Amino acid sequence: MKDLIKQIIGEHIENKQINEETFSFNNLSDDEKNRIYNVFKSSYEKSTGKSWDQNKFQYKASDWLFFGRDDGFITVRKQNSGMYKLTGAAGSLKSIMQGVEELNSLNTPVWGLMTEKMAKVLKNKYGYIMPPAFLSKYIFGILSKSILGNNNTSINQNGSLTLKYSDVGDATKYFVANKLYYKYLFTNILPNMAGVPNIIKLAVKRLAN
């Protein structure tokens, strides 16, 4: 009976619809997908002056999990490690915040590259951590190109990263993560890497505690 209950609960989570706080893009109707894209498009254009076209957005979003509502949301992609990578935020800040609270309830490592404004919201309201510039630069240096969407990048002196998209131009993002991410980095990733400077190990340890 317990296994059956777990199965039912799991199916319910996988099939959540847009009026709930967690949903999958692939489970939405065409009208709902259009509404989600329009929210994304409006926010992206305000931020960069351009936006992905709808086909690119739907291709990317098919791999994302959405937290929030149809007028505002934060998105993540689950990685093979079990960590969640932030992939974006758009729309109503109130609804985005509802989404962040739902995401935080998973109690799992979360990290990503966000606009400076969104990174600071996560930092100031939810205790996410923007690392010092030297640590951000190191982290950017060890991230694979595929994790960054195979885009050309440049690391800036202030610790931000500029991604150079062929279709929408440049976008500057800031690294931000919750404490569980730094714990995972210190415990599971750095020990398996050779030549990690002690200053990096100490910085990550401090953020993890």
Claim to verify: residue 139 and residue 100 sit in the same structural domain = no
Q: Are residues 74 and 118 in the same domain?
A: no
The Cα 131–Cα 137 span in angstroms is 9
Q: Place 20 in a pLDDT band, splitting at 50, 70 and 90.
A: low
**Domain end point (choices 108, 132, 164):** 108
Same domain? 82 vs 125: no
pLDDT, averaged across the chain:
88
* Same domain assignment for residues 203 and 117: yes
pLDDT at 67 over 80: yes
Q: Are residue 87 and residue 122 in the same domain, yes or no?
A: no
Confidence class for position 16, pLDDT limits 50, 70, 90: very low
Place of tokens 């030297």: 134
* Number of domains present in the structure of the chain: 2
Q: What is the pTM of this model?
A: 0.85
Please indicate, yes or no, whether residues 96 and 123 belong to a single structural domain of this protein. no
Q: Are residues 92 and 122 in the same domain?
A: no
Same domain (yes/no): 97, 187: no
Note whether 14 and 24 are within 8 A (CB). Answer: yes
Residues 76 and 144 in one domain: no
Q: Verify that 140 and 205 share a domain, yes or no.
A: yes
Domain range for residue 65? 1-108
Average pLDDT of span 138-157 = 87
